[in-house]
Copies of this chain bind each other. A is one copy, B any other.
Amino acid sequence: MTRLPTVSDVATAAGVSRQTVSNVLNAPDVVRPETRERVLAAVSELGYRPHASARRLRTQQSSTIGIRLDPMTDGISGVVLDRFLHALTAQADALGLRVMLFTAAGPEEEIAQFRRLSDGADVDAFVLTSTFEGDPRTEWLIEHGQRFVTFGRPWGVDDMEDPQHLWVDVDGRAGLRAATRHLLDEGLRRIAYVGWPSPSGTGDDRHAGWRETMREAGLDDDELDALEARTPEGVPHGAEALRAVEAATGGAVEGVVCSSDSLALGALLAARGRYPVIGYDNTPVAASIGMSSVDQPLEQVATGVLELLTGAHGGRVRHDGEPVGDPRHRLLEPRLVPRELQVAPA
């Protein structure tokens, strides 16, 4: 591994000045075609590639996105971040952006990392995941003028419309509506809900999707109260919760929708194949055992995040000239992936 070629080397090889080389790379149309060809030939012959740090220093932008790797791999749903990260990295690369990782034990420590990374000009934008109500991170970022986008809505009432806060999220309510409707359409009626306890931004949102769909189907509040169970994340909790609902309804359950695949897996085991269970997140577990699940459009989330980050949305209009929604956030629709149980636990 000898010294890497520099602009000067390319210039010498092509018989032009350093400058011209720089122009060819950054403003191609300003250079005469034949000169350009010659320079490009030299570039590929020498295997030249601009020195990232030199460019970043000169341009004063790192073109690097910082994202925290969640410590919590507790839940089965940890894979969601993983898939998102993959999509984000791939799409960022296409835009000439890099993704840099960091870790933090909690919000405070994450803020300390924001400070380190931004003060050191390591990173010039952040992507946050799993936002929660009263999230101190976004507050800090706004206060310090940092560029960022969250995957997840700001659940606090005030923040929701903060123009400084760009976000992309998936409409969990619509997801649960779709799941519930799917079961209703199969002629099932007493669809139970197993989800996280309130208050929880995402949890309450998904719960609402089930509840309102069931009401539309004609069930009254008493029936619905008996059909729902709120419980913390975890497979055993899912199983317990479903058994509780069965007890409360006299075993009249005909189907279940859940706020996560973990809970769904528990419910599935408790249901023992007597009726369908639908999960959320479309994790590998769901796929492998053949459980239906709501899939988040992670590729689109990544696209949205990058658009918001790079400001590629500014003044966008549709063909008919109408502006494309609010340019400060995106709410994406998830998709139900219906499946037939592959491995019956009976």
Question: Chain A residues in contact with chain B, CB under 8 A?
Answer: 1, 4, 47-54, 56-57, 62, 64, 69-71, 73-76, 78-79, 81-83, 85-86, 89-90, 93, 98-103, 115-116, 119-122, 144-146, 234-236, 239, 262, 265-266, 269-270, 272, 284-285, 287-290, 342-346
Which of B53, B85, B284, B288 contacts A101, CB < 8 Å? B85
Q: Is the CB of B93 within 8 A of A4?
A: no
Q: A79-B79, A93-B103 are in contact. List 7 more A-B contacts (CB 8 A).
A: A49-B120, A51-B57, A52-B62, A57-B57, A64-B100, A73-B79, A89-B103
A234 neighbours in B (Cβ, 8 Å): 288
Complex Cα–Cα for A75 and B289 (A): 11
Each complex incorporates copies of this chain amounting to 2
In the complex, what residues of B have CB within 8 A of residue A1's CB? 144-146
Given contacts A53-B62, A57-B51, A288-B265, contact A236 B343 (CB under 8 A): yes
Q: Given A119-B47, A289-B269, check contact A100 B98 (CB 8 Å).
A: yes
Q: Do residues A89 and B75 form an inter-chain contact, with CB atoms below 8 A? A: no
Q: How far does the Cβ of A16 sit from chain B's closest Cβ, in whole Å?
A: 21
Pick the contact of A345: B100, B236, B345 (CB < 8 A): B345
Q: Is the CB of B52 within 8 A of A54?
A: no
